[in-house]
Chains A and B, each alone.
Chain A
């Protein structure tokens, strides 16, 4: 696979980034569309965002990961005010008594693949080509930095009303608990900066090239539409797990998660076969009968058979014909320590992770 290095993001490249971000969202992380529009509005003023390689920064440079926390569904109704980042970043700089050198995507999947561009554009900062998940995950501690023992705090969070707060916690799991509780009070979505890291820490734990990758994936979908999945399987070393029509989507909300099961009836080469995909915000487990097709942390991505566009767990509906792809996760997620944090058992599935 040859991925063209992304060095600058302007209005033109945003669509591909949003599309590719939706793919790495693995069904979760929300529709990047809203993030794209926010970035677009901001870039119209700033001209664009520079994308840089982590190696170009000195080891002690401060890198600030940015993410939206909460329910993506809230964001399609309640847009941010646009002043959040101008409030948020100085809060962190004040706590660390150091200026921020670059912005980082905490998660390259879903809505959070585009939100950090708004921060970068608003503050005129460059963004690092990489992220801390290589996909979307539902909880704040599920980043490569946690594996490196790096704390999510000091963390800052602001809402569109102008409320801001900072966190100082004993573990990343506690940060997740407390930040999630405040997100709900803030109305379901908030902008946050977390895991402030040095360029050195970043060099050790960053999943590199994620932004170039989502741009590349987006370009493939733009170019090949409904055939894109075939090319993605080849280029990303993935597996075509299933092709089928959605026959039921059962949903429930538990503890703030959008949970459910998508049942698929096979078509074309998968005719007379049935599959199901369990989701908890992201698609986590794909099964055919008792056979496990793929599990988290590998990516389970669903594409609309007609348009080739990625489909999220929130918008998937009855009757839609889809292609299901399994894409291998970054190897950093395959250690026992990592699987305890993001493997199927963490999400209460009684199965073990088997790589694709």
Chain B
């Protein structure tokens, strides 16, 4: 199966062509302001290098930073209103609590609390009142809201009231666009609601992005199916991205870590991804990124969807260096202007790349590296910046390798925090490789009453079988399916021992090949 993987980063857009596990070719192009030109350039370049005709491509897989960028920059966000089904509970913590003001301004910050929601055992706090619901939506619309997010208390235990609200509003108000909290996050009303609001605000942009990617597919004569990569490194269909763009949020670091593990053949390692402007440090366990704890901050908002645990620093190949006291490196970077502005390219700016060349770590550019009296000290500072983060990303003193990836990985020393650094071939395109090898997942979350008839292990086994079935429905090859995560949480205050079991399985994509 021929796969094209693309990863849109802040500085560069990378593309690779792979056949099964074999790398056929790839390119790195500057990310363009419109994003798509950069994507088109990189795919064309990769296909040319791999000598593959577009008609031979079986699948296109894209990882993009469109959505998280929009959120961070507070642009292209739809005015979003939230309806929380909760009264009489809920008023002591209002929606949008703890949000940065600039982001609230970016999406309006309007909300309504109405009757509804569930108790922990699934009984109703109060009944949903369709008239109150429709009025709330109309009021929010009058306030300028283009998107509606709906949250309900204990939607993770019972999702039917959110569903009922969705159906009522869809019938009553034509063309209304709704995000339900239960489709995104887990336990924790505020975090789940925040994720739903963010998702809703990104939906119009998601629509545009998908449309333009489809157009691009036509331009490139790629008639194959197109997928996007999710935060967990697995695939999501384009139609699903339009509804749930937040699920693709953190795919950048995930793809690079997955790609690093794949290219090096190491399933358990630390990954240091040195880009043009920033360096991300994370850990892969069994080939997948280690995930952050229960809640994650996204653009300064607390949410609770699964994201890789990544530490970032403002150090990259383009980081601007001050070689006089006080010595400093970054966080300001020349970004994709490196080939014009770095000293080794006859430019006028001293960059981290120049330091690496001067120290003999790599050969880049057409000019000799500048000789600096403070070189040793600067290299020490640079190495320490990375070593500090690697030390923090480690969760044990176990000696595991460090995989260096990204265009700037040539700057890395041979050892970091006492660990050996491995830079596998094609590591500068690791993120696009990560996209190309993305697998299919199946995730099932179910409450099981554990009693004399079924114990914890059998209950988990049952849910695992369900997850496997789901993955197969999403085109996973049954022969390749393995369990990625298992967790179980008891629901107290219910008679008996009720476990909320969560299982995620993954398998290779199985498509009819060309």
The answer to whether A187 touches B392 (Cβ under 8 A) is no
The answer to whether B88 touches A268 (Cβ under 8 A) is no
Distance between Cα atoms of A34 and B397 in the complex (Å): 35
Q: Which of A34-82 contact B (CB under 8 A)?
A: 34, 37-38, 40-42, 70-71, 73-74, 76-82
B204 at the interface (CB under 8 A from A): no
Distance between Cα atoms of A270 and B294 in the complex (Å): 26
B313 at the interface (CB under 8 A from A): no
The answer to whether B309 touches A77 (Cβ under 8 A) is no
Closest 8 CB pairs of A and B: A321-B395, A82-B92, A253-B490, A267-B396, A160-B89, A187-B119, A80-B92, A268-B397
A28 at the interface (CB under 8 A from B): no
Looking at B188, B395, B499, which has the most chain A CB atoms within 10 Å of its CB?
B395
The answer to whether A251 touches B97 (Cβ under 8 A) is no
Interface CB pairs A-B, < 8 A, 30? A34-B93, A34-B190, A37-B98, A40-B98, A41-B92, A41-B93, A41-B94, A41-B97, A76-B190, A78-B125, A78-B154, A79-B90, A81-B89, A81-B90, A118-B92, A161-B125, A162-B88, A188-B492, A252-B456, A252-B490, A253-B497, A258-B490, A306-B393, A307-B293, A315-B294, A319-B285, A319-B290, A320-B395, A321-B395, A321-B396
**B492 cross-chain contacts in A, Cβ below 8 A:** 71, 73, 188, 253, 256-258
Looking at A41, A79, A81, A226, which has the most chain B CB atoms within 10 Å of its CB?
A79
Distance between Cα atoms of A74 and B492 in the complex (Å): 9
> Given contacts A77-B154, A252-B490, are A37 and B190 in contact (CB under 8 A)?
yes
Pick the contact of B488: A40, A79, A251 (CB < 8 A): A251
**B397 cross-chain contacts in A, Cβ below 8 A:** 267-268, 271
B498 at the interface (CB under 8 A from A): yes
The answer to whether B92 touches A188 (Cβ under 8 A) is no
The answer to whether A40 touches B97 (Cβ under 8 A) is yes
**A41 cross-chain contacts in B, Cβ below 8 A:** 92-94, 97
Distance between Cα atoms of A88 and B397 in the complex (Å): 52
**B93 cross-chain contacts in A, Cβ below 8 A:** 34, 37-38, 41, 79
> What is the distance, in angstroms, from B231's C-beta to the closest C-beta of chain A?
17
Distance between Cα atoms of A355 and B143 in the complex (Å): 61
B270 at the interface (CB under 8 A from A): no
> What is the distance, in angstroms, from B195's C-beta to the closest C-beta of chain A?
14
- B89's nearest neighbour on chain A, judged by CB, is A160
> Given contacts A187-B125, A253-B498, are A38 and B154 in contact (CB under 8 A)?
no
Say whether chain B's binding surface is mostly helix, strand, loop, or mixed.
loop
Q: Which of B267-316 contact A (CB under 8 A)?
A: 285, 290, 293-294, 309
A304 at the interface (CB under 8 A from B): yes
Pick the contact of A245: B294, B309, B395, B488 (CB < 8 A): B395
The answer to whether B117 touches A245 (Cβ under 8 A) is no
A165 at the interface (CB under 8 A from B): no
Q: Which of B128-162 contact A (CB under 8 A)?
A: 153-154, 156
B175 at the interface (CB under 8 A from A): no
The answer to whether A254 touches B88 (Cβ under 8 A) is no
A151 at the interface (CB under 8 A from B): no
B75 at the interface (CB under 8 A from A): no
Residues of B within 8 A of A (CB): 86-94, 97-98, 117, 119-121, 125, 153-154, 156, 187-190, 285, 290, 293-294, 309, 392-393, 395-398, 450, 456, 487-494, 497-499
**B120 cross-chain contacts in A, Cβ below 8 A:** 71, 73-74, 77-78, 187-188
Q: Which of A182-239 contact B (CB under 8 A)?
A: 184, 187-188, 226
The answer to whether A73 touches B187 (Cβ under 8 A) is yes
The answer to whether B395 touches A80 (Cβ under 8 A) is no
Distance between Cα atoms of A70 and B119 in the complex (Å): 13
A172 at the interface (CB under 8 A from B): no
Distance between Cα atoms of A81 and B86 in the complex (Å): 9
The answer to whether A253 touches B494 (Cβ under 8 A) is yes
Report, as a range, how many residues of chain A touch the other chain.
Answer: 35 or more
Distance between Cα atoms of A161 and B119 in the complex (Å): 12
Pick the contact of B395: A74, A76, A267 (CB < 8 A): A267
The answer to whether B497 touches A76 (Cβ under 8 A) is no
A5 at the interface (CB under 8 A from B): no
> Given contacts A71-B492, A188-B120, A321-B396, are A77 and B88 in contact (CB under 8 A)?
no
Pick the contact of A319: B119, B156, B395 (CB < 8 A): B395
> Given contacts A38-B92, A256-B493, are A226 and B97 in contact (CB under 8 A)?
no
Distance between Cα atoms of A160 and B117 in the complex (Å): 13
> Given contacts A253-B490, A306-B392, are A79 and B89 in contact (CB under 8 A)?
yes
Known pairs A80-B91, A304-B293, A317-B487 / 9 extra A-B pairs, C-beta < 8 Å = A38-B93, A41-B97, A77-B120, A78-B120, A78-B189, A81-B87, A253-B491, A254-B497, A258-B492
Distance between Cα atoms of A170 and B239 in the complex (Å): 63
**B94 cross-chain contacts in A, Cβ below 8 A:** 41
B interface footprint on A311-347 (CB within 8 Å = 1, 0 otherwise): 0001101111100000000000000000000000000
- B485's nearest neighbour on chain A, judged by CB, is A318
- A253's nearest neighbour on chain B, judged by CB, is B490
> What is the distance, in angstroms, from B250's C-beta to the closest C-beta of chain A?
17
**B490 cross-chain contacts in A, Cβ below 8 A:** 251-253, 258, 260
Distance between Cα atoms of A76 and B304 in the complex (Å): 12
The answer to whether A306 touches B90 (Cβ under 8 A) is no
> Given contacts A37-B98, A78-B117, A267-B397, are A71 and B493 in contact (CB under 8 A)?
yes
> What is the distance, in angstroms, from A272's C-beta to the closest C-beta of chain B?
11
- B291's nearest neighbour on chain A, judged by CB, is A319
